[in-house]
Amino acid sequence: MTVKGRFGRFEETLDLRSKPAVQLTIEADSLDTKHNKRDQHLRSADFFNVAEHPQVQFVSDSATVDGERLTVHGNLSAAGKTIPLHLDATLRAVGLEVEAVTDADHRALGMTWSRLGILRAPSKLLVHGRLVRQSDGDRG
């Protein structure tokens, strides 16, 4: 069985002139799989442990663009643990969209609970976003 969900609250930046070039902070309690009881369990200490670790974060070590390809290496932190993550994203000039798919081993983040021992790894992460241009005057 595949469980799909999305996070409703997050902040992100992509600025290739900055270090880090990519930062993403997600409010872990905003996870929504369209099943309230499952969402509560995913927010528990068995998975995201939002009581002690309310945010999921990704911070890049490097980010490069080659045509429509954005390649990002960095670290994903969730539930008090951190794993390396590599993303190959497609940039679309129309609407300034970014799409990426990558795998993350949730077991390395301590997310190993499974009633029948059938929790498959790795988890597939899908990123879909729309970039908004900021002028230098808009940057804090």
State the total domains in the chain: 1
Q: Are 79 and 48 in contact (CB under 8 A)?
A: yes
pLDDT at 133: 67
1 domain-assigned: no
What residues make up the domain containing 29? Answer: 6-133
In a domain, 35, yes or no: yes
Residue 99 inside a domain? The answer is: yes
Say if 80 falls within a structural domain.
yes
| Residue 97, domain member (yes or no) | yes
> For position 38, which CATH number holds?
2.40.128.110
pTM above 0.85, yes or no: no
Would 57 be classed as within a structural domain?
A: yes
48 inside domain: yes
pLDDT of 91 reads: 85
Does residue 12 belong to any structural domain of this protein?
A: yes
From first to last of its 140 residues, the chain has per-residue pLDDT tens of 677 899 999 999 888 899 999 999 999 999 999 999 999 999 999 999 999 999 999 999 999 999 889 999 999 999 999 999 999 998 877 667 888 888 888 888 988 777 655 567 788 888 878 776 666 555 55
pLDDT computed for residue 84 by the predictor = 96
Round the average pLDDT of the chain to a whole number and report it: 87
